[in-house]
Amino acid sequence: MIAVEIISIGDELLIGQTINSNAAWMGERLLEIGIHLNWVTTVGDDRDRILQALRIAESRADVILVTGGLGPTHDDITKHVLCEHYGAKLVFNQQIYDQVFERFQKRGITMAKVNADQAMVPDIAHIMPNKLGTAPGMMFRKGPKCCYVMPGVPFEMKAMMIDQVLPELKSASGSSTILVHHFMTTGVAESTLFEMLDNLPAIQQSVDVAFLPSLFGVKLRLMAKAESPAAAEKRLAEGVTRVREKVGKFIYADEDRSLEAIVAELLTHRQETVAVAESCTGGMVANMLTNIPGSSHFFNRGIVCYSNQSKIELLNVPESMILQHGAVSSAVALAMAKGMRQMAQTDYGLALTGIAGPDGGTAEKPVGLVFIACADHQGAVYERHQFANDRLGNKQRAAQAALNLLRKKILEIDHE
């Protein structure tokens, strides 16, 4: 199996000015061709540290993928450091110069003198053309090991990877097949999913299972590897069946899709509509639903009923109910959902009321407490949630939970 390391070069990556999205994208693409990424090293624009990173990578990896530092400015030192590491020298390449000059000419821009330096390339490197930019890629060989060097500009790097690097690595890695299936879950903790998959050892005879938690839920990644596509498909199908049997009620999608997209699809397919009354989330649920193209077919309206008076005036929540139970209560959430549905004359009324924080909580009703209710022609149901994030996190998780309750109501899944 090929061992691969990425070296991402750039001070901007270390100080948080730029997120290293390149490494994530490269890791995904490598996995698609059956290669596991082993290491990612991020290093600044510093000669000694880049040299150290190259030496370490060379000691443990068969393939090194370097990105960044190929530009024409003074802080772009990658080429010079690579020459030092591989014992090369920079030479002028007329073909690259002509390509760079032509690129500027087509744009009607005079080429700066510093851009001519991009035609200076290591004499022992195989040059990889850059169809989308001015900095060429390079490939060095040292015994059985190789090092691919690409620009840090994402779209330039991606084109170079797709057109040149990945085909070569696929050819070198053999004929094994890797297939991946994602389950999107929500409303359940990672630890609970793990316990529910009590047959995990048996499942992992077919597939590798990874738990990928986020604020909105847990993505389950099932990965099957075999010597042939047919064998990989068989293993993946076995794993998918076993996982679905155990945690199926928490799965809302079999691919990497948002919950709001799934809810929109369900409502559109059934030609049903929803209206939303929000307190603590301040319109977040309505925003998520209306971000979906075609939302006018299923989304009727949304109201932010933040004050008690607005709940009373707009949704006919009895004032006595608020005085007795408080605005943050199951009774008020249910009344809001019913009132919203009656006002809008929709198939579903969805409502949320809670305490987003950081203030406003009590011992009886702490910060993060949210009641969510959903009403339809059969009646109304509610859920009580206790979140433990900051204000924005509590609002986001509450909105996700509301969409999930709506999904379960549509599909008549037990909301408990």
Helix (H, G, I), strand (E, B), or coil: what is residue 366?
Answer: coil
pLDDT at 326: 98
Given 211, 228, 253, the domain boundary residue is 253
C-alpha span between 29 and 154 (Å, rounded): 14
Which of 37-41, 88-92, 168-172 has the least mean pLDDT? 168-172
Let me know whether 57 and 17 are in one domain: yes
Is the backbone of residue 379 left (phi > 0), alpha (psi -120 to 50) or beta? left
Let me know whether 51 and 155 are in one domain: yes
pLDDT at 181: 94
Report residue 415's pLDDT band, with 50, 70 and 90 as the boundaries.
low
pLDDT at 99: 86
CATH number of the domain that 284 lies in? Answer: 3.90.950.20
pLDDT at 203: 84
Report residue 55's pLDDT band, with 50, 70 and 90 as the boundaries.
very high
Let me know whether 61 and 142 are in one domain: yes
H/E element, 209: strand 208-214
pLDDT in tens, 97-111: 888 888 888 888 888
Predicted confidence (pLDDT) at residue 27 exceeds the cutoff of 60? yes
Let me know whether 231 and 371 are in one domain: no
Residue with tokens 């040059």: 127
pLDDT in tens, 171-205: 888 767 889 999 999 999 999 999 999 877 888 88
Calculate the average pLDDT of the chain.
94
Sign of CA dihedral 131, 132, 135, 141: negative
pLDDT at 75: 83
Kindly give the interhelix angle for 308-315 and 330-344, rounded to the nearest 10 degrees.
40
Give me the phi and psi of 129, to 5 degrees please. -60, 145
Is residue 246 assigned to a domain?
Answer: yes
Is residue 28 assigned to a domain?
Answer: yes
pLDDT at 175: 62
List the end-to-end C-alpha distance of the chain, in Å, as a whole number.
Answer: 46
Predicted confidence (pLDDT) at residue 159 exceeds the cutoff of 60? yes
C-alpha span between 72 and 100 (Å, rounded): 12
Q: Are 34 and 69 a contacting pair, CB within 8 Å?
A: no
Given 115, 144, 173, the domain boundary residue is 173
Report residue 298's pLDDT band, with 50, 70 and 90 as the boundaries.
very high
Beta bridge partners of 217: 214
Predicted confidence (pLDDT) at residue 160 exceeds the cutoff of 70? yes
CATH number of the domain that 167 lies in? Answer: 3.40.980.10
Predicted confidence (pLDDT) at residue 234 exceeds the cutoff of 80? yes
pLDDT at 416: 56
pLDDT at 308: 98
Domain that holds residue 307: 260-411
Is residue 416 assigned to a domain?
Answer: no
Let me know whether 317 and 392 are in one domain: yes
Given 234, 253, 272, the domain boundary residue is 253
pLDDT at 4: 98
Query: Averaging pLDDT over each range in 110-114, 241-245, 394-398, which range is the top one?
Result: 394-398
pLDDT at 195: 93
pLDDT in tens, 362-408: 999 999 999 999 999 999 999 999 999 999 999 999 999 999 999 99
Let me know whether 25 and 169 are in one domain: yes
Let me know whether 153 and 15 are in one domain: yes
Specify the number of domains making up the chain: 3
Other CB atoms within 10 A of residue 103 CB: 17
Let me know whether 102 and 184 are in one domain: no
Other CB atoms within 10 A of residue 230 CB: 10
Let me know whether 169 and 181 are in one domain: no
Let me know whether 154 and 237 are in one domain: no
Let me know whether 305 and 382 are in one domain: yes
DSSP string over 248-295: GGGEEESSS--HHHHHHHHHHHHT--EEEEESTTTTHHHHHHHTSTTG
Let me know whether 10 and 134 are in one domain: yes
